[in-house]
Amino acid sequence: MNRFIIRRLLQAIPTLFGITVLSFLLMLKTPGDPITLITFRPNATAEATEILRRQLGLDKPALVQYVYWLIGNDWVKIDVDGDGKGDVQGTRKGLLRGDLGYSIAQKRPVLTVIGERIPATLLLTVPSLIIGYAVGIVVGLLAAIYHRSWFDQFARVLSVVGSAIPAFWLGLIMIIVFSVRLGWLPMSGMRDITQPSSEYQVFDSIPYMVMPVTVFALGIISVVSRFTRTQVLEVMGQEYVRTAYAKGLRIRSIYVFHIARNALIPVVTLLGSAIGFLLSGAVIIEQVFSWPGLGRTTIDAVSQRDYPVVMGTVIIGGVMYILGLLISDILYGLVDPRIRLE
């Protein structure tokens, strides 16, 4: 098992490297740049704009900018005034030395910006993942057990609806109904902004979590329930299940030890890949509900052309996805004794 984990981690290095290269090139090719947004004022001169561009290293070719982001620029002199002479020593240490740079818009380290937003994103995504898997597995099991019944039809409709309805549309509808019309739930945010930060408790966010967690969990429920139903129906047709019926075993024992235990093996492995998609799913939901998490920070960074923050979120998302796939492989080997990862 240890050799397998080490091998997969080594294989993940070029994958993560490729993600950073592709994301960096796409980011630089998008229209606009942070200098235009920063200097969008009447008294900004062309000379001041060029100085700022050279200070941020945006005057360099794309390959040079990527190298500086990767290994730092504290080993080079920056030509600030454009006279061909190095005036200022670089300060970046680069990704490989644990430095993601400084946010252009917020003037703070990227690690600080991301570190402040991750707890809010976890507060939204972790309950959604738990509820989505718990409800999805139960619904899928019952739909397969009561095959072609009214509950099976309901589960299939729920799966289709959860997959077809866009998260942003469902979120807006819920805001209109439960916040604007009925006034039952807060419209947006994570907590009451009139409350002092020192008095804030996690439980204070529960009313604000109801709608975004529901929208997030519905998408997970639709996928997990459909996949569970398919796996259970496939297992129910296996010979060892018919043999268990022929032996006269109790129905409950057959469902628990013969059907569910084997059908849920592929479902468990979905958990790892779902972890990798937590950030991507949170981007839309956090934007709709104004949730102050990492997803909303990513949207703001893209609109502001805050390149260091964008690349920092790309790194976080890539690491989460790779670790999620690794967890899937490990879980598959743990729950299925037939698999030998070595």
- Is the CB of residue 224 less than 8 Å from the CB of residue 141? no
Q: 99-113, 212-226, 248-262: lowest mean pLDDT where?
A: 248-262
- Mean pLDDT score across all residues of the chain: 79
The confidence band for 7, taking pLDDT boundaries of 50, 70 and 90, is confident
Domain ranges of the chain: 16-97, 110-335
Percent of the chain having pLDDT more than 70? 83
320 vs 314: CA distance, rounded Å: 10
pLDDT at 43 > cutoff 80: no
Judged against a pLDDT cut of 60, whether residue 340 lies above it is answered with no
- The model's pTM: 0.78
> Which of 38-42, 160-164, 257-261, 336-340 is modeled with the greatest confidence?
160-164
Query: In 10 A of CB 173, how many CB atoms?
Result: 13
Return the pLDDT at 82: 60
DSSP-derived letter for residue 235 is: H
| Domain 110-335 listed as CATH 1.10.3720.10 | yes
- The whole-number pLDDT of residue 341 equals 47
Q: Choose among 293, 286, 288: nearest CA to 172.
A: 288
CA distance 212 to 124: 7
pLDDT value at residue 336: 65
Residue closest to 225 by CA, chosen among 275, 149, 162: 162
The three-state DSSP-derived secondary structure of 245-275 is HHCCCCHHHHHHHHHHHHHHHHHHHHHHHHH
